[in-house]
Amino acid sequence: SFTISGAYALTAVLKKWAEDFMNIYNNVEIAILEKGTGQGMVDLIDGKADLAMISRPLSDDEKEAGIWMIPVAKDGVAIIVNDNNPYLPRLMKQGLSPDEIQKLFTSRPSPTWGELLDTTGSARAVVYSRADESGAAELLAGFLFRKPIDLKGIEVTGDKEMIDRVKSNIFSAGFCNLSYAFNILTGERIENIQIVPFDLDYDNKIGKIEKPFNDIETAHRSVWLGIYPESLCRDLTLGSIGKPTDPVILAFLNYVINDGQKIVREAGLCELNNIALRFARESLQ
């Protein structure tokens, strides 16, 4: 039996993997603790977890702790707004540039939608950020050349609460793991949520490459083809203190990067490509 703690981005697929693995090995018990990457790393280093779910690069202290990692899936971070925002037509036509995204998530008070979109309108953006140590916040802050502590907004915990809050206010904006913006069963975008397109060339209009997507297949394709901003994409990994030696944990990791990969898409994440799979399998040898 063993415990896995950490990233919200990996929790759904880990629960499916654990259930599948425990059905194969009836005498194995796997506990999944959904706490965010930061707390998962603390649990791992403190010996409270055998594996950590990780959705960001390691810090220097974590590297010094001798953490070993293996890639298991891939995902990105999306900027989301309420689908009933009265400024949505203009927002989807011109998108938000990195500078505008930085203004949205680092300003106090938050900007008005009129200021962001260079139009009239005094409605102020209701911005949500993360209270927990999340990989999504790390990734967004890095995209903006900031630190997670620089992100401002009403703090929420986890992707589900973030999406629920954004759905509850037409002037809201937040961010979540890309996979959480879609319905796993249908592949369609979550109701009342819109993914904001990026105006990467600062021309106040959305081109073919910058065009937003409405289904998870297109989202995954954009991640692997490099269409989605690379700095907002990352490998999702499992980590341990040193390479695992427990035969049960090794068997579980072998399952994850082989038969378990078919579950990745079912959980809304991007599967590993052949290069990443080869690296992962070599890491376990």
**The CATH number of the domain where 177 resides is what?**
3.40.190.10
Average confidence score pLDDT of the chain: 92
Cα-Cα-Cα-Cα dihedral of 162, 165, 171, 173, to 10°?
0
Q: Are 65 and 241 in contact (CB under 8 A)?
A: yes
CA distances from 64 to 7, 55, 109 (A): 20, 18, 39
pTM, two decimals, is: 0.83
Same domain, 126 and 223: yes
Question: In Å, how far from its chain's centre is CA 124?
Answer: 26
Is it the case that residue 217 has pLDDT exceeding 90? no
Both structure tokens of 78: 């999306």
Same domain, 225 and 104: yes
pLDDT in tens, 88-97: 999 999 999 9
Is it the case that residue 185 has pLDDT exceeding 90? no
Same domain, 24 and 59: yes
Same domain, 53 and 145: no
Same domain, 112 and 183: yes
Same domain, 150 and 239: no
Q: Are 17 and 256 in contact (CB under 8 A)?
A: yes
Of 258, 281, 179, 192, nearest to 21 (Cα)? 258
Domain residue limits at 165: 76-232
Same domain, 94 and 61: no
Same domain, 159 and 256: no
CA distances from 116 to 82, 110, 130, 135 (A): 16, 10, 22, 26
Same domain, 239 and 174: no
Same domain, 80 and 18: no
Q: Among 19-28, 207-216, 230-239, 243-252, which is the least confidently predicted range?
A: 207-216
Same domain, 84 and 219: yes
What is the tally of structural domains in the chain?
Answer: 2
